[in-house]
Structure 1
Amino acid sequence: MEQGNLFGAAGALSVNTVVDGSRDAAYAAAYAKETNVGMERHVKLFKNGRNQAVRIPREFELPGEDAIMRKEGDKLIIEPARKLSLLELLDTLEPLDEEFPEIEDLPAEPVDF
């Protein structure tokens, strides 16, 4: 495994990683390497039924339950699906073709404050 910015001159994990008590940070530092693009990690592909799958390591976990996947050349890119605004959500609905019944316009009732 290549040693990158995550390791000191002596080749050990940085003191900050070990001292802060985060085993996840130490795990990520030991098995991932930092590149000029960001973090990188070698993962295994496997079959899940007829689909090819990959386990996403904890340090790369995405928020939410949905993601967007696209292919750019030979790269597969997975990013969190952003939540739609109310207007965007309403824009996805089909218009209603039925007529609404007439609603009687009643005068406002007085309210005591």
Structure 2
Amino acid sequence: MPVPTSPPLPREARLFRNNRSQAIRIPVEFELPGDRALIRRDGDRLIIEPIKKPTNIRELLSAWREKEPFKPEDQFPDVEDKPVDPEDVF
């Protein structure tokens, strides 16, 4: 049975400028997987979450829907369904 680990204690991090953006050095114990993250504001707090890569088609479609909902004009156009030509299979 694994031993539960407690989350790391809060730690001060250094803020710095990178061109016109403010950046933060994230200590190794708070490291996020991947190379992209979501950031949002909650009052005075900034919440940073890793972007989870979809593992199946359902998660991929759900992620796309959350990013930008489909609009009727984005649907596929009507396509004429032509009859199939018979083929000689023997």
Gap change, CA 1:42 and 1:86, over 3 Å in 2: closer
1:60 deviation in Å? 0.7
Partner of 2:11 in structure 1?
41
The answer to whether the aligner puts 1:86 opposite 2:60 as a matched pair is yes
Partner of 1:104 in structure 2?
84
**Aligned residue-pair number:** 73
Q: In the alignment, residue 40 of structure 1 is paired with which amino acid?
A: P
Q: Which runs of 4+ in 1 moved over 3 A?
A: 89-94
Partner of 1:4 in structure 2?
none
- Unaligned 5+ residue runs, structure 1? 1-33
Q: In the alignment, residue 56 of structure 1 is paired with which amino acid?
A: I
- Unaligned 5+ residue runs, structure 2? 1-5
* Preserved contact between residue 8 and residue 29 of structure 2 (Cα < 8 Å): no
Which segment drifts farther, 80-89 or 94-103? 94-103
Partner of 2:22 in structure 1?
52
- Normalising by structure 2, we get a TM-score of 0.59
Q: In the alignment, residue 82 of structure 1 is paired with which amino acid?
A: K
Instruction: Pick the structure with greater CA Rg.
Output: 1
1:76 deviation in Å? 0.7
The answer to whether the aligner puts 1:63 opposite 2:37 as a matched pair is no
Percent identity over the alignment? 40
